[in-house]
Structure 1
Amino acid sequence: MKSVLVIDAPPMLREFLKEKLSAEKIDVEIADAQRDALPKFLSLLPDLVIINIEQSVGEVIEFLEKKQSDPNGKKIPIIMTGPQIEHYEITELVQYGVIKYFTKPIKFDIFFDSVGRVLHQPFSFDTTPCVLDLHLNQDIIFVEIAMGLNREKITLLKYKLSEMIDNNKLVVPKIILMMSDLSLSYVDGLNLELLLDNITADRRVLRRNIKILSFDTFVRDFIDGHPVYEGVKVVKELSSVLNSLVEGNATSSVQELITDKILSVSAGADLGSVDLHFSADNGNSGEKDQIDAEKLKIAIVDMDLTVVKFLRDTVEALGDVSIFLSAKEFVSKVRPNQFDLVITGMYMPEVTGLDLLKYLIDQKIDLPVIVYSNVVQKEVIMQTLKLGASSYLVKPQPAEVIVQKALEVINAKRQP
């Protein structure tokens, strides 16, 4: 039986790795670098070591050096996950047997593909197209699912929910599961059960505090006729549900709640070590290396001069910034390999942000695009993602969120 030693993984990552690897009949051992990693490593001599670092390689350097000094252990490969680090640091890790370094948030389809290659064991991985996002407002967690039900993302959701509940100290969390874009049938019954079982896996989530927004007859009949999910309510509109869930009058209107919180990052939200978006969603790889900021070329496309100035000031430290005051001007000038990233608005005269995305597809220009807009209609947002946008950020966003998202999508695109 093949074995993997996981070192210093945070709870959410650790539990997901254990579940996924154990399902593939792989023995998993967990260790702490400062306490028991080396003894476990020497006694187990695993087929692979997975190491997580939170801030710097220095956290595990003692283990790495002792591993390499052992004649039986030095050839055992290592896959590491962690923050962005300097290119020379990644190069130096090779001497310790590190074969892959994944920058967080991890794209797990690529991650497990690498693990499978090391272990000479292909992993089963659900590739069903699926958009799954979580957003928090007060004690309400909005879970939005579109396109389909992907079992890998549903499994990750269980850990992501618990992490969000823990981080925000939610005593009585309330869940609104938004599935208005899904049309399901009896063949989706097992996946729907998996979804609800994972949402209720945390004992703090009570079934009476779960509301499902769906227009689908199958979903309503499935929930209504399933004794395990008694208390879960399926609704066709959110207003009455939100008014009953929001305590007091902290939110001035239901529309404000939906606009501000469902489609934007919550203040203080953990941008996380685990991402619910896989590389298969947009063709980007999850293996990340450090990028050279001085070589980045970023295009900003927007007719609002205030927005343009804010975005330019935000990202100019990353490299050269080119300004286009209309999408029409941009598409008339853009060439393959000209930019590393585009940040664009949505509604502009003659040529819109959607038209810009379609143009890039038609011209086969593979270019990461972040849409930064105050448009909050779900149909528009879903269409931009289907047309290949790497991310959709609803105005306004803090500068640090924009920078982090820019680095994330650029790093993802640059890896083979």
Structure 2
Amino acid sequence: MKNVLVVDASPIFSEFLKDKFSEEKIEVTFIQDKLDSIPKMISMLPDLVILDINETDNAAFLLDYLQKIKADPNASRIPLIATGPVMERKEIALFAKFGIHKYFIKPIKFDFFFDSIGTILRTAFSMDTTPCVLDIHCNGNIIFIEIAQGLNREKLSLLRYKLSEMIEKTGLDAPKVVIMMTNLDLTFVDGLNIELLLNNILANHKIQNKNVKILSFSTFTKELIDGHPEYAGIEVVTDISHVLNSLVDSSSTAHVSDLITDRILTNNDTEAGGAIEMRFSTDTNAPSRSEQLAEGVDPYLKHIAIVDDDSVVLDLLASTFRAKRFHVDTFNNGVVFLEAVTEKKYDLIVLDIMMPGLSGIDTLMKLKELPEFPVIFIYSQAMKKELIIKSLSMGAKQYFVKPQKPEVILNKAVEMFIAPAKK
């Protein structure tokens, strides 16, 4: 049996590695002190050492530690992999001279991480390759989990540890959890993965069933939860206004505008860091045309309408989408846009709310009269709770609060286009 020695890893990181190595029938030993790890290496002679470097470890100490390993003829032959904070390239290159095969910057992309370990151990790790975007972020006492494209068992397993890491970091005592899966068309085939998702969330003793809400249009998800006593209290809803109202009314720590911004967007910078990365190295935010074609999405065939009275916003968004070869039409008011939309079908409309003359809300009402309601992204400075809820309740897919980087909206659009192509 292969054996691995893990040095100085945090409790959460250690727990994750223990479970993963156990699945692969690999024996793992943990030791918390770097200096004590050297005699352990010599006596144990593991097939691999994983060294977790902390921000408190200074360079002089690390170099002395690595020199001691290199000086021993037995320990020096053991492959080393290191994880740690961002370092300068010259420092990482120096580590390589002391036998460190790979250096993984935290948060770690674990598909690449285990692929490297598998190469060293000559063991193929079983990894679920189902396309999946899973983002997790926190605002006040509410944790948002957004899942798109599919349910990947590797990411669902990682979620348990990421939640623990986040709750420990933020000091939450009774967190509320919102799981957003409106882009997933789930059936009985996904039953085991839905159970894995919920079990990993509820594994944290601070998360109570009554504080978990799922936003999903899947009738199967509701039927599965209603049929499992252990999930009693978890609510599955399809009405975004119901979720937003209940969360805003019950949250004393989150400002409405901040809460809505984080409800719509992905990770915010305050949640960056830690050891666990929910995105894999194979994930891409904005695929190239060849990658999109492989997913069944041809940007040359997608038509985007951008409606905004701000010429700067129009130019920025249009150039961003056109750079990825999307067809883009721009409109500086709702009246001109509504005339065009009767003659041309758009795959996505990016719409401002606060416009002179015909407002974004009025434009939305007119769009609902069309035989086929288009996909709408709201991009506006309007931050009143009533306007946001009304927009989403009227069928808008996403609500972005200005200003945002144009790439954020582009990435959400690409993600949306890819998701149905996989069904």
- Per the normalisation by structure 2, the TM-score is 0.68
The equivalent residue for 1:130 is 132
- 1:6-405 → structure 2 map (5 Å cutoff): 6-34=6-34, 36-55=36-55, 56-246=58-248, 247=250, 251=254, 253=256, 257-263=259-265, 265-266=267-268, 268-282=270-284, 347-348=314-315, 351-358=318-325, 375=379, 378=398, 380=409, 381-385=411-415
Q: Deviation of residue 17 (structure 1)?
A: 1.5
Could you tell me which amino acid in structure 2 is paired with residue 281 of structure 1?
A: D
Cα offset, 1:374, TM superposition: 9.1
Unaligned regions of 5+ residues in structure 1, if any? 285-324, 327-345, 360-372, 389-416
Which structure 2 segments of 5+ residues have no match? 287-310, 327-376, 381-396, 400-408, 419-423
Cα distance change on mapping 1:92 and 1:191 into 2, 3 Å = same
Change in CA separation of 1:354 and 1:95 when aligned onto 2, cut-off 3 Å: same
Q: Distance in 1 between matches of 2:244 and 2:398?
A: 18
Structure 2 letter corresponding to 1:18 = K
* CA contact 2:175–2:211 (8 Å) conserved in 1: yes
Q: Percent identity?
A: 46
Report what 1:313 is aligned to: none
118 and 34 in structure 1: CA distance in 2 versus 1, 3 angstrom threshold: closer
C-alpha displacement at 1:264, in angstroms? 5.2
Structure with higher Rg: it is 2
Q: Distance in 2 between matches of 1:374 and 1:68?
A: 58
TM-score normalised by length of structure 1: 0.69
Residues 90 and 122 of structure 1, relative CA distance in 2, 3 Å threshold: same
Query: Deviation of residue 231 (structure 1)?
Result: 1.1
Structure 2 CA distance for aligned equivalents of residues 59 and 262 of structure 1: 44
For 1:267-313, what per-residue CA distance to the aligned partner results, in whole angstroms no more than 9, with x for missing partners?
743433321000111299xxxxxxxxxxxxxxxxxxxxxxxxxxxxx
Taking the aligned partners of 2:284 and 2:243, their CA distance within structure 1 comes to 34
The question of whether the paired residues in 2 share the 8 Å contact of 1:142 and 1:262 is answered with no
Report the Cα distance in structure 2 between the residues aligned to 1:86 and 1:202, rounded to whole angstroms: 36
Query: Aligned partners of 2:416, 2:319: CA distance in 1, in Å?
Result: 16
Aligned to 1:330: none
Show CA shifts across 1:66-104 (max 9, x none). 221221121111111122322232222223211111222
Report the alpha carbon displacement of residue 220 of structure 1 after superposing the two structures with TM: 1.1
Q: CA deviation at 1:259?
A: 2.0
Structure 1 residues 260 and 191, CA gap change in structure 2 (3 angstroms): closer
What amino acid is the match of 1:24? E
Distance apart, 1:252 and its partner CA = 5.7
SS of equivalent residue, structure 2 residue 83: strand
Partner in structure 2 of residue 402 of structure 1: none
Cα 1:250–1:226, aligned 2, differ >3 Å: closer, same or farther? same
Partner secondary structure for residue 184 of structure 1 = coil
1:31 Cα deviation from its structure 2 partner: 1.4
Task: Answer whether contact 2:139 2:254 (CA < 8 A) is retained.
Answer: no
Cα shift readout 1:9-48 (whole Å, capped 9, x = no counterpart)? 2233222211111110111111123453123222211000
Match of 1:365 in 2: none
Alpha-carbon offset, residue 260 of structure 1? 4.0
Instruction: Give me the whole-angstrom Cα distance separating, in 2, the residues matched to 1:136 and 1:200.
Output: 17
Say what the alpha-carbon RMSD is for the aligned residues. Answer: 2.9
Which region of structure 1 is more displaced relative to structure 2, 129-138 or 79-88? 79-88
Offset, 1:352: 4.0
* Residues 285 and 415 in structure 2, CA contact (< 8 A), matched pair in contact too: no
Q: Distance in 2 between matches of 1:193 and 1:242?
A: 25
Pick closer, same or farther for the CA change 1:352–1:375 going to 2, 3 Å.
farther
> What code does the residue aligned with 2:6 have?
V
